[in-house]
């Protein structure tokens, strides 16, 4: 392992307050390693019905079958329903923190898992830096997985963290035996994500989007989305670790800037503030993502296309472009696909860019 990867693991574990961490090439690679080390093969892994396909793919790769528990529209979970979904075949349960905040029921769900002897794995890919009650996302369960590409740009990068030294030893052994470094993949992925992230700034929206599409055709010909290029067996290249470290070290400052931006947007919308799915972000939310509620009579795709004409990037949630599986309820997924868009908040937005985004959102909200 390179000195940079070792430094990343050491600093991340200290930041989270756990005994150790193991780096991986992508968040999905970290998830697969975490499940393999939890020895879920031959059993079931309980996952929320509102989940991206990469998670169920990792479950199957680890030799288990995904079973689903219900998630409400407001992204909360009924603890009683969660416990009822546990069976003698359940080897692990995945608790997901959605869009920059800790799932409110995390402590209760983690306690249920401890009582029932089920491995509780937190999926913190979308909640790097989120806290609840003074505790960081990733510090509630038996282990947690993170991604360094969801709230910023990096050359891939995922991580498994835990307080169990024995468990971490299994993760590291698996990573040593099965993970492969692919510098070209990491480089291409990182460049594309950098352009994708730059497109969240109105001043770069059009240029970054077009450059990204052209580069994607060169790097991943025929691919629908460069995000699909990540591998389950990818190791973190040495050159990628310094960028992940920079993200981690600057996370507190980036979060403060994001909160200030979201506050200005919220105030700017005034009476139209109902477009925000959640109230003005609290200090515990990372503010990296702002879910926006599309009114009845319009659609998420309408908002994405209309905002693009104004040079503002809004994004569909993954239920809008990934198929649901048998066993998943579709009501909440359908609602999120049709009625919610995401604003990804770039921490370097200028005052004029924030006003341009606010003006676009006011116009969209007033059309209804």
pLDDT digits (tens, 9 = 90+) for 92-120: 999 999 999 999 999 999 999 999 999 99
The answer, yes or no, to whether residue 71 has pLDDT greater than 60, is: yes
Which CATH number does the domain housing residue 11 bear? 3.40.640.10
Is 70 buried (19+), middle (13-18) or exposed (0-12) by CB count in 10 A?
middle
Mean pLDDT value across residues 33-48: 98
- Of 319, 314, 324, 325, nearest to 338 by C-alpha is 319
On whether residue 245 sits in a domain, the answer given is no
On whether residue 87 sits in a domain, the answer given is yes
Residues 6+ apart with CB under 8 A from 262: 280, 281, 287, 290, 345
Q: Are residues 68 and 143 in the same domain?
A: yes
Residue 254: phi and psi, rounded to 5, are: -60, -40
Mean pLDDT value across residues 294-317: 94
Using 50, 70 and 90 to split pLDDT, how confident is the model at 367? low
Residues 6+ apart with CB under 8 A from 358: 264, 265, 268, 269
Q: For residue 173, how many C-alpha atoms fall within 13 Å in the half-sphere facing its CB?
A: 9
Number of domains in the chain: 3
Q: What percent of the chain has pLDDT over 90?
A: 83
pLDDT in tens, 118-157: 999 999 999 999 999 899 999 999 999 999 999 999 999 9
* Model-wide pTM > 0.85: yes
Q: Are residues 187 and 139 in the same domain?
A: no
DSSP string, 143-180: EEEEESSSSS--SS-EEEEES-HHHHHHHHHHHHHH-E
The residue among 140, 156, 180 that closes a domain is: 180
Which CATH number does the domain housing residue 316 bear? 3.90.1150.10
On whether residue 244 sits in a domain, the answer given is no
Using 50, 70 and 90 to split pLDDT, how confident is the model at 178? very high
What pLDDT score does 56 carry? 96
Q: Are residues 217 and 290 in the same domain?
A: no
Mean pLDDT value across residues 224-246: 93
CA distance linking residue 280 with residue 259, whole number of Å: 9
On whether residue 145 sits in a domain, the answer given is yes
Q: Are residues 73 and 205 in the same domain?
A: no
What pLDDT score does 326 carry? 80
The answer, yes or no, to whether residue 279 has pLDDT greater than 80, is: no
On whether residue 361 sits in a domain, the answer given is yes
Residue 326: phi and psi, rounded to 5, are: -60, 135
On whether residue 242 sits in a domain, the answer given is no
What pLDDT score does 54 carry? 94
The answer, yes or no, to whether residue 281 has pLDDT greater than 80, is: no
Q: Are residues 175 and 273 in the same domain?
A: no
What pLDDT score does 164 carry? 98
Using 50, 70 and 90 to split pLDDT, how confident is the model at 320? confident
CA distance linking residue 343 with residue 290, whole number of Å: 5
Domain that holds residue 48: 3-180
Q: Are residues 194 and 166 in the same domain?
A: no
What pLDDT score does 323 carry? 85
CA distance linking residue 83 with residue 70, whole number of Å: 11
Using 50, 70 and 90 to split pLDDT, how confident is the model at 2? confident
11-25, 181-195, 275-289, range with the lowest pLDDT? 275-289
What pLDDT score does 328 carry? 80
**Positive or negative CA dihedral for 99, 104, 107, 108?**
negative
Q: Are residues 174 and 187 in the same domain?
A: no
CA distance linking residue 131 with residue 87, whole number of Å: 30
Task: Give the sheet arrangement for strand 315-316, strand by strand.
Answer: 289-293, 340-344, 315-316
Q: What percent of the chain has pLDDT over 70?
A: 97
Q: Are residues 21 and 151 in the same domain?
A: yes
The answer, yes or no, to whether residue 368 has pLDDT greater than 80, is: no
The residue among 148, 180, 212 that closes a domain is: 180
The answer, yes or no, to whether residue 285 has pLDDT greater than 70, is: yes
- Of 111, 160, 164, nearest to 138 by C-alpha is 160
Q: Cα-Cα-Cα-Cα dihedral of 202, 208, 213, 216, to 10°?
A: -130
On whether residue 158 sits in a domain, the answer given is yes
12-21, 78-87, 178-187, 274-283, range with the lowest pLDDT? 274-283
| Assigned token pair, 9 | 């693991």
Contact yes or no for 90/69 (Cβ under 8 A): no
pLDDT in tens, 345-362: 999 999 999 999 999 998
Contact yes or no for 50/332 (Cβ under 8 A): yes
On whether residue 98 sits in a domain, the answer given is yes
Q: Are residues 325 and 347 in the same domain?
A: yes
């Amino acid at each position: 392992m390179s000195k940079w990867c070792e430094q990343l693991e050491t600093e991340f574990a200290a930041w989270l307050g756990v005994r150790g961490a193991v780096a991986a090439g992508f968040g999905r690679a970290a998830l697969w390693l975490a499940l393999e080390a939890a020895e879920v093969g031959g059993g079931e892994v309980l996952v929320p019905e509102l989940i991206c396909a990469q998670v169920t793919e990792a479950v199957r790769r680890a030799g288990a079958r995904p079973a689903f528990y219900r998630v409400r529209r407001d992204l909360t979970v009924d603890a009683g329903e969660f416990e009822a979904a546990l069976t003698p075949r359940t080897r692990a349960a995945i608790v997901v923190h959605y869009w920059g905040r800790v799932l409110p029921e995390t402590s209760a769900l983690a306690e249920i898992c401890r009582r029932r002897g089920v491995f509780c794995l937190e999926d913190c890919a979308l909640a790097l830096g989120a806290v609840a009650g003074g505790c960081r996302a990733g510090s509630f369960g038996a282990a947690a997985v993170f991604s360094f590409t969801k709230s910023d740009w990096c050359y891939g990068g995922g991580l498994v963290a835990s307080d169990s030294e024995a468990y971490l030893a299994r993760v590291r052994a698996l990573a040593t035996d099965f993970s492969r470094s692919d510098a070209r993949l990491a480089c291409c992925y990182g460049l594309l994500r950098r352009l994708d992230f730059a497109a969240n700034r109105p001043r770069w929206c059009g240029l970054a989007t077009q450059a990204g599409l052209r580069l994607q055709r060169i790097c991943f010909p025929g691919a629908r989305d460069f995000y699909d290029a990540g591998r389950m067996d990818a190791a973190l290249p040495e050159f990628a670790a310094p960028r992940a470290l920079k993200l981690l070290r600057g996370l507190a400052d980036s979060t403060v800037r994001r909160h200030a931006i979201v506050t200005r947007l919220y105030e700017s919308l005034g009476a139209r503030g109902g477009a925000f799915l959640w109230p003005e972000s609290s200090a515990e939310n990372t503010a990296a993502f702002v879910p926006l509620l599309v009114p009845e009579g319009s659609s998420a795709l309408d908002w994405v296309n209309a905002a693009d004409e104004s040079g503002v990037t809004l994004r569909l949630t993954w239920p809008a472009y990934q198929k649901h599986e048998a066993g998943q309820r579709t009501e909440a997924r359908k609602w999120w696909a049709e009625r919610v868009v995401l604003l990804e908040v770039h921490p370097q937005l200028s005052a004029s860019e924030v006003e341009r985004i606010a003006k676009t959102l006011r116009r969209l909200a007033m059309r209804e």
